Structure 1
Amino acid sequence: MSLKKILMALVAALPMALPVHANDRYQNRPPVMVSPDLSAPWVLQLGGVPTTQARQQRPRAGARPLFPQAQQAGRQLRPVYRNQVRQQIAQPAPVGQRRIVSQRRGLFSQQPPVQQVVARPARPAKPQIEPKFLPQMVQYDTKHKPGTVVIDTRERFLYLVMENGSAKRYGVGVGKPGFEWAGTHKVTAKKEWPDWRPPQEMIAREAEKGHFLPAHMPGGPENPLGARALYLGSTLYRIHGTNAPWSIGSGVSSGCIRMRNEDVIDLYDRVPKGASVIVI
């Protein structure tokens, strides 16, 4: 054999005898598996993870896991996705659970029941009073001297007797059935914008109906006694204004004589303390 052939044979066998160098350490690579669903959160799965297992752990397309920071920190959490949270929120809680929650809330946010204060009667559909109950001068033949106040509870009129057989007539509201009365008294006191202290009998009576009266109400437009009050003798009866002018001409009070505020102001200026009041 010639020397040339011997050298060529040695060169051909030389790579098989040489050791493996650093560049060859990447020849044995793990198989790369590409997910068939490119819309999944991960695309490449290294290390030979079976494709079927990857499909079981993969959420629906487009869903993003909540709390990714907790999952990255290594916590053992079951993946929860936004569409699942929306379904849980939309589904109402069972009746029993709602009752328990409402009872728990009541322990911390319980509020006292709202009490209805009866200070103004219910407004009717037509609040205008009849024209005959508006103030007017009328002929009034009587034996009582001028300055006397005569109240006709049946006709719902109050007459201020004047000279020459005349009187100024006002429409009034009177006691409701069971609270009518008659008698003669003097005007013992006069007050502007009086406060109101309903008697205990009235408070108890209204409480039985589910209405709660205040023990005291200062004077003002909302006060049931209105703008003026004339107190009759030592009784609890008064001639007073009202915060419900549409009730004039009706029997709605507990015995007091009520007038429109503008009318009682006019009467207040005309009737002095000590004047006689006759209720028939």
Structure 2
Amino acid sequence: MNRRALLTSFAILPALGAPSFLAAQEIETSSEPVQKKWPIADQFYPREVRVKPNLAVGSIIVVSDKFFLYHVTAPGKAMRYGVAVGKNELKFRGQAVVGRKVEWPSWKPTPEMIERDPKYAKYADGMPGGPQNPLGARALYLYQNGRDTAIRIHGTTAPSSIGHAVSNGCLRMVNDHVIALFDQVPVGTPVTVY
């Protein structure tokens, strides 16, 4: 393990405010260096990491302040991805489930989004799915008590936003990464966002 990866893994320990489900040691998945395909920092590329073994296999956990999403793949193991999160006043926190999954989703800004930023008004009737759509290639729709929260885990047309608090509340991933997650996660998957 290189020094940067080790320090990054320590950075997510509870002493710095993150939940205590993470262990400090990463599992090496490859001796190959990260191949830079996207304009994101190395730590935001997918990586297998250790987590506490009592976490529910299949669940998703997001640590917003660290810009990481964890998909628990086996007892004590998770795939870690980088995400962009909501701006400070728009961060979603809490528990939800994946209530719906959509490939190349359409997008319609909420009235609140239009009020905050009038440039979205031109999309008030919606925007069809496709490569220019801000939801990217895939979207996991988060529900609470059977109701859509309007929060999504989705792809992005702006991969350089990964690792930043810039969205209107949703959790953005690089399109390749959200496709990989989408293919592994069924409807009903529990999601916890810290």
Whether the TM-score (by the shorter chain) exceeds 0.5 is: yes
**Alignment TM-score, normalising by the size of structure 2:** 0.75
| Identity %, equivalent residues | 48
Quote the residue 1:226 is aligned against.
136
Aligned pair count reads 152
5+ long unaligned stretches in structure 2: 1-37
Q: Tell whether the 8 Å contact from 2:142 to 2:151 is kept in structure 1 after alignment.
A: yes
Quote the residue 1:279 is aligned against.
193
In structure 2, what residue type is equivalent to 1:201? E
Classify the secondary structure of the residue corresponding to 1:264: helix
In structure 1, what residue type is equivalent to 2:193? V
**Alignment TM-score, normalising by the size of structure 1:** 0.52
Distance 2:94 2:129 in 1: 28
Q: Tell whether the 8 Å contact from 1:203 to 1:213 is kept in structure 2 after alignment.
A: no
* CA-to-aligned-CA distance 1:57-82 (integer Å, 9 cap, x gap): xxxxxxxxxxxxxxxxxxxxxxxxxx
In structure 1, what residue type is equivalent to 2:116? R
Higher strand share: 2
5+ long unaligned stretches in structure 1: 1-126
Query: Hey, which bits of structure 1, 4+ residues long, moved more than 6 A?
Result: none
Shift of 1:201: 1.4
Structure label with greater radius of gyration: 1
Q: Which moved more, 1:212-221 or 1:248-257?
A: 212-221
Quote the residue 1:171 is aligned against.
82
Q: Tell whether the 8 Å contact from 1:137 to 1:166 is kept in structure 2 after alignment.
A: yes
Which is bigger in relative contact order (C-alpha 8 A, separation at least 6)?
Answer: 2
Please list, as runs of the form range in 1=range in 2, the aligned pairs for 1:27-176 lying within 5 A after superposition: 128-141=39-52, 143-176=54-87
Quote the residue 2:155 is aligned against.
241
Distance 2:114 2:176 in 1: 28
* CA-to-aligned-CA distance 1:8-67 (integer Å, 9 cap, x gap): xxxxxxxxxxxxxxxxxxxxxxxxxxxxxxxxxxxxxxxxxxxxxxxxxxxxxxxxxxxx
Higher helix share: 1
Shift of 1:177: 1.6
Q: Tell whether the 8 Å contact from 2:92 to 2:170 is kept in structure 1 after alignment.
A: no
Distance 1:149 1:136 in 2: 15
Please list, as runs of the form range in 1=range in 2, the aligned pairs for 1:196-207 lying within 5 A after superposition: 196-207=107-118
Shift of 1:213: 4.1
Q: Tell whether the 8 Å contact from 1:174 to 1:251 is kept in structure 2 after alignment.
A: yes
